[in-house]
Each structure stands twice: as structure tokens, then as C-alpha cells.
Amino acid sequence: MSQWLESLSTLQVLLLVLAVTFGLSVLAVIVGAVLVRLGMRRPAVVEWASQLAERVFTLVKRPLTIVVLDEVAAVLRTGHYTENISRAITENHDQLKALIAEKVRQDPNVRLIGKLPGYDAIVGEVTETTLRVVVEMLADPRTDELVSDLLRNNLEQIKQAVRSEAHVDVEPHDPPDPVTRPRR
């Protein structure tokens, strides 16, 4: 038993403590509900267990969030996300080309230009060139570094906000503006 416990990482130990605490608090709620339904008063032990579970959860919540964010950051550092995007663009090249051509044809700002001879060939070549340049940019290590920096900086900002509890007193966001579609 002790070897098993020693082999757990910090995150796994925290999750185990949280799971046991949560399980005991659920058991306390169930026992309390059954006793109240039977017409008895909620036992002091059940009340105490519920309060203890709430305190433990409050104490563990922030450190556990930070540990999870550290774990997520470590996993994100191992990925090459621009390669994945580049592969997806390459795999779906024909569908993307057709989609872009369709959207350009439907754009109300190009109605007159769309009637010119060779319009489809021009749109096809521009689309092909744009997709090729995007795939090459995504394959460039500088773009991968940019995305890695972006993810790392955002995670650091999130961790700092969790540590300083900056998110506690923030007003809720206004509802999003309605999306209006252009008339066709």
C-alpha cells in the first residue's frame, strides 16, 4: 500500500485527497438526507463531516487548479500545433479551395468582378497560392515558436490570476452583440 502511495505524483495525491473528501461529503449528504426523511435530526457527525469537506475543498481548490494548469502547460510545451494545422490544411486542401471559391463568389462586393472572363481561374490561383503560403508559414519553426510563446504567456497569466485571486471580484461579461449576416 505504501509503495503505491509513494509512486503517485503530487497531482495524483491531490486528486486522491479531493476524491476521498468528495466521496465522504456525498456519503454525509446521503446519510443526512435519509435520516431527515425518516424524521430524525441531522446528526452532528454528518454536519461536522459536511463542514470539514467544504473547508478542505476550499483549501485545496486553488492549489489544485495551479497544479492542473502546470500539468497542462507541460503537456502544451510538447506539442507542435502549427504542424497539426498545416497537416489539416493539406489533408483538406481541395475542400478548402472549393469553400474559399464559393465564399468569394457569394461575396456581394465582387459581383461585377465575378463576371469578368477568367475570374474562376484567378480565384483558383490566388486560393492555391494563399494555401501554399499558409502551409509553408505554419511549417516554419518561427511560427511554432510564436504559438508556443502565445500559449505559455496565456497560461502564465491565467496561473497568476488564480494565485492572486484576480478573477474573484470581476464583473460578469456583457452579453455578446447579436451577429448580423450581410444581405445577399
How is residue 84 written as a grid cell?
Answer: 497539426
pLDDT at site 53: 73
Which of 72, 65, 49 has the alpha carbon at shortest distance from 168? 65
Distance CA 65, CA 181 (A): 39
Which of 42, 45, 22, 24 has the alpha carbon at shortest distance from 34? 42
Q: What is the pTM of this model?
A: 0.54
pLDDT at site 183: 59
pLDDT at site 145: 86
Q: How many CA atoms lie within 13 A of 118 on its CB side?
A: 3
CB 81 within 8 A of CB 88: no
Phi, psi of 9 (to 5 degrees): -80, 170
- Each of the 184 residues of the chain gets a pLDDT tens digit; together they read 567 767 778 778 778 877 887 787 778 778 877 877 888 776 777 677 777 777 877 777 777 787 788 888 788 778 778 888 889 999 999 999 899 888 888 888 877 777 778 888 888 888 899 999 999 999 888 998 888 888 888 888 888 888 887 767 777 778 878 877 665 5
Question: Which residue matches cell numbers 497569466?
Answer: 157
